[in-house]
C-alpha cells in the first residue's frame, strides 16, 4: 500500500522542512531551542521495508517565548487603544484582502502539506483550502453588511446613540488537527477582522502547513496583531492562560482539553470562550427509509476522512426490519471505497495521523466483540502501519465502549431498534448534543421526530448526513459538544461586543455630534459605510 519515494508524482512531493522560526510582534524570529520532529501518516517503502517518513520539525517554544507573543498581542491591542482595534473597518478589510491575495499564492504547497501531515485526500485538501478562502471573502462581505447596518444614529427616549460592535481584546486561537487550516481560520479571521489581536497556536498535526503563511501574516497586518507560536500546550498555552491576559479563548478540540485550558484563566468573568468540542452524531434509519440514499449518506457521513470529523456519523440506528438489507448495501458500498495515498484519484480511505489511533480502535473493536458484536465486513479493523481498514460492528449495544465513546476514526457501530423511543433516548441521555440524521419517507413520522430532537441537538438533518457547511449556517452544539455559535455572521458577533456612544438630545450635543460626523473625526462615531 505504501509507495516508494520515486513512485510519488513529483507535484505531490514536499521537501522536508525543519522550521526554525515563529512569528512575534511582526517579526519572524529564529528559534534555536528544542524542536519536535514531524512524521507523516504516509509511510514510505524503502528497499522493500515500510518506514516512517520524516517531514521535518517545528519549534518547541519555551513558556517565556510564548509569553513574548502574548505581550506582543497585548501591546498591539493596548487595552483597546492600539492602531488595529481603533482602525476603521474599511482599513481592516483592506489588510485582510491583501492577506487573501498572498494566501492564495500558497495554495499548492499548503494543499500538499495537508496531504502529507494529516493524510487528507487531495480533493478534500483542495476543498479545505478553497473553503477557507471563501470563508474569508464571505466574512468580509458580512462585516460590510454589519458596518452598513451600524452606520446610523438612532434616537430613543430622547437619547441619540450609535451602536457598533467593538473588539474584545486578546484572543488565543487553537484549531483541530482534522481541519488544521479551515477550522482554525474560522475563528482566527473573524477575531482579527473585528479588531482583536491574536496569539495563534497551530493544531497538534498540520503544523508545517502554516509555515508558508507566516510571511503573509507578517506583511499584511500591523506588528503584534497576529503572533504564531509552536510547542507543547502545557508549556505555551498553560503559561499564556495563567497570565489572565486572554480575553477570548477560541478552541476546537476535545472537551477535556478545552475545559483544562479554560480553567487555567484566573479571571473567569473576563474570559469568553468559543469552543467546538466532542460529538457522537447518530443516524436513525427508519423502516420506510429510501435505503439507497440512507446508505450513500451513511457511508460518506461515517467514513469521509476516515471518520475523523467532529460531524461524522459515529453510530447508526437501523430499524430491525430493514437492518439486514441496510448492512448488505452498506458493506457493498464500503467494499468499493478506494484505499490508498491521498493524491491517488478517487481515493477515500487513507492513513491516520495519530500514532495511538490503530491501537485505540483495536481496543474498541475487541471490547465490542467480547460483548457480542461482530466485525461484519471483510478485513474490517485490519491494521497496516498507520492504515486501518474500516470495521463495521454489528449488533452494538449499550454495554460497549463504542456505544458511548467518540471513536473519531474508521469504526462504524450499527445497532437495531424496534421502537423509535430507543434512538431518541440515546440522544436524550447522551453527553453530546451536536447533530443527528434521520432517514425516512413518511412526512408525519419525520415531523414527529423533528420536534423532540431539535431541543436535544442543534441541527436535525433529514435524509442527509451531518455536516458543518454551508458556513453561513450556524455551527454549534448543546451539552459537551460546544460553547458559542460559529457561522460567518455569528463569528463576527462572538469576537466582538455591542458598544455604543450615547448622548442626550440638546443643543450642545446636537452641535457636537454633527461636527464629529461632518468632519469625520471619529472612526466609531461615523455615518460612513462601505459598499
Ligand atoms: O470536524 C468537524 C468539522 O467542523 C466538520 O466539518 O462537516 O464540513 O466536515 P464538515
**Pocket of ligand 1, candidates 311, 348, 465, 473: which has the most ligand atoms within 8 Å of its Cβ, to mutate?**
311
183 lines ligand 1 (CB under 6 A): yes
By most ligand atoms within 8 Å of CB, the mutation choice from 123, 135, 310 for ligand 1 is: 310
Centre of ligand 1 from the C-alpha of residue 140, in Å: 22
How many residues does this entry show for the chain? 531
Q: Within 10 Å of residue 442's Cβ, how many Cβ atoms?
A: 12
CA of 310 to the centre of ligand 1 (A): 6
Cα end-to-end distance, the chain, whole Å: 53
CB-based contact 506:160 (threshold 8 Å): no
Ligand 1 neighbour 124 (Cβ under 6 A): no
Question: Percentage of the chain with pLDDT > 90?
Answer: 99
Assign 302 to helix, strand or coil: helix
Asked whether 308 lines ligand 1 (CB < 6 A), one says no
Taken in order 397, 364, 385, 408, the sign of the CA dihedral is positive
Cell numbers 481498514: residue: 389
- What pLDDT is recorded for position 21? 98
pLDDT at position 89, please?
Answer: 93
Looking from the CA of residue 467, the nearest atom of ligand 1 is 7
Q: What is the mean pLDDT of the chain?
A: 97
Beta bridge partners of 272: 248
- Across-strand partners of 36? 58
CA-466 nearest atom, ligand 1: 7
pLDDT beyond 90 at 357: yes
Cell of 529: 459605510
Three-state secondary structure readout of 391-405: EEEECCCCCCHHHHC
Which of the four pLDDT bands, split at 50, 70 and 90, describes residue 530?
Answer: confident
Ligand 1, pocket-test mutation among 135, 304, 306, 309, most atoms within 8 A of CB? 309
3-state percent breakdown (helix, strand, coil) of the chain, nearest 5? 40, 25, 35
Whole-model pTM? Answer: 0.96
| 416 within ligand 1 shell (Cβ under 6 A) | no
Residue 493: helix, strand or coil by DSSP?
A: helix
Distance (Å) from CA 445 to ligand 1 centroid: 28
Range from 193-202, 240-249, 372-381, 522-531 carrying the lowest mean pLDDT: 522-531
Q: pLDDT for 274-329, tens place per residue? A: 999 999 999 999 999 999 999 999 999 999 999 999 999 999 999 999 999 999 99
CB of 119 closer than 8 Å to CB of 179: no
DSSP letter assigned to residue 3: P
Q: What is the pLDDT of residues 364-412, one digit of tens each?
A: 999 999 999 999 999 999 999 999 999 999 999 999 999 999 999 999 9
Q: Place 531 in a pLDDT band, splitting at 50, 70 and 90.
A: confident
Count helices and strands in the chain by DSSP H and E runs = 17, 27
Pairing of strands 383-384, 387-388: antiparallel
Amino acid at each position: 500500500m505504501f509507495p516508494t519515494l520515486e513512485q510519488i508524482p513529483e507535484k505531490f512531493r514536499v521537501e522536508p522542512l525543519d522550521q526554525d522560526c515563529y512569528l512575534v510582534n511582526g517579526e519572524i524570529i529564529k528559534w534555536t531551542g528544542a524542536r519536535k520532529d514531524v512524521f507523516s501518516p504516509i509511510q514510505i517503502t524503502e528497499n522493500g521495508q515500510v518506514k516512517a517518513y520524516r517531514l521535518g520539525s517545528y519549534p518547541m517554544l519555551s513558556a517565556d517565548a510564548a509569553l513574548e507573543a502574548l505581550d506582543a498581542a497585548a501591546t498591539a491591542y493596548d487595552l483597546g487603544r492600539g492602531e488595529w482595534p481603533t482602525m476603521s473597518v474599511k482599513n481592516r478589510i483592506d489588510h485582510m484582502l491583501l492577506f487573501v491575495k498572498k494566501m492564495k499564492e500558497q495554495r499548492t504547497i499548503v494543499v500538499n502539506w495537508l496531504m502529507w501531515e494529516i493524510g487528507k485526500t487531495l480533493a478534500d485538501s483542495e476543498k479545505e483550502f478553497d473553503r477557507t478562502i471563501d470563508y474569508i471573502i464571505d466574512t468580509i462581505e458580512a462585516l460590510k453588511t454589519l458596518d452598513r447596518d451600524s452606520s446610523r444614529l438612532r434616537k430613543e427616549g430622547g437619547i441619540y446613540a450609535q451602536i457598533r460592535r467593538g473588539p474584545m481584546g486578546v484572543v488565543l486561537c487553537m484549531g483541530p488537527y482534522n481541519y488544521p487550516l479551515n477550522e482554525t481560520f474560522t475563528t482566527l479571521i473573524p477575531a482579527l477582522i473585528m479588531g482583536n489581536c491574536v496569539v495563534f497556536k497551530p493544531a497538534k498535526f498540520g503544523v508545517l502547513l502554516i509555515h508558508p503563511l507566516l510571511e503573509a501574516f507578517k506583511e499584511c497586518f500591523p506588528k503584534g496583531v497576529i503572533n504564531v507560536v509552536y510547542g507543547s500546550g502545557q508549556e505555551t498555552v498553560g503559561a499564556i492562560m495563567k497570565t489572565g491576559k486572554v480575553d477570548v479563548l477560541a478552541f476546537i478540540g476535545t472537551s477535556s482539553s478545552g475545559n483544562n485550558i479554560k480553567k487555567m484563566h484566573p479571571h473567569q468573568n473576563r474570559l469568553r470562550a468559543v469552543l467546538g468540542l466532542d460529538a457522537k452524531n447518530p443516524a436513525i434509519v427508519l423502516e420506510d427509509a429510501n435505503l439507497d440514499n440512507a446508505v450513500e449518506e451513511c457511508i460518506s457521513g461515517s467514513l469521509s476522512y476516515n471518520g475523523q470529523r467532529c460531524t461524522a456519523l459515529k453510530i447508526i440506528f437501523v430499524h430491525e426490519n430493514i437492518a439486514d438489507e441496510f448492512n448488505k448495501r452498506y458493506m457493498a458500498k464500503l467494499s468499493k471505497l478506494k484505499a490508498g495515498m491521498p493524491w491517488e484519484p478517487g481515493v477515500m480511505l487513507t492513513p491516520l495521523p495519530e500514532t495511538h489511533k490503530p491501537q485505540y480502535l483495536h481496543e474498541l473493536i475487541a471490547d465490542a466483540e467480547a460483548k457480542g458484536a461482530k466485525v461484519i465486513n471483510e478485513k474490517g479493523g485490519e491494521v497496516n502501519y498507520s492504515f486501518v481498514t474500516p470495521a463495521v460492528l454489528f449488533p452494538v449495544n449499550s454495554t460497549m465502549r463504542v456505544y458511548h465513546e467518540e471513536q473519531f476514526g474508521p469504526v462504524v457501530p450499527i445497532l437495531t431498534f424496534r421502537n423509535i423511543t430507543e434512538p431518541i433516548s440515546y440522544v436524550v441521555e447522551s453527553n453530546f448534543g451536536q447533530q443527528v440524521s434521520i432517514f425516512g419517507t413518511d412526512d408525519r413520522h419525520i415531523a414527529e421526530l423533528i420536534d423532540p430532537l431539535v431541543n436535544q441537538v442543534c441541527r436535525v438533518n433529514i435524509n442527509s448526513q451531518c455536516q458543518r457547511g454551508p458556513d453561513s449556517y450556524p455551527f454549534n452544539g448543546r451539552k459537551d459538544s460546544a460553547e458559542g455559535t460559529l457561522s460567518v455572521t455569528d463569528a463576527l458577533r462572538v469576537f466582538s461586543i455591542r458598544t455604543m456612544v450615547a448622548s442626550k438630545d440638546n443643543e450642545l450635543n446636537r452641535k457636537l455630534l454633527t461636527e464629529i460626523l461632518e468632519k469625520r473625526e471619529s472612526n466609531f462615531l461615523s455615518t460612513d459605510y462601505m459598499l
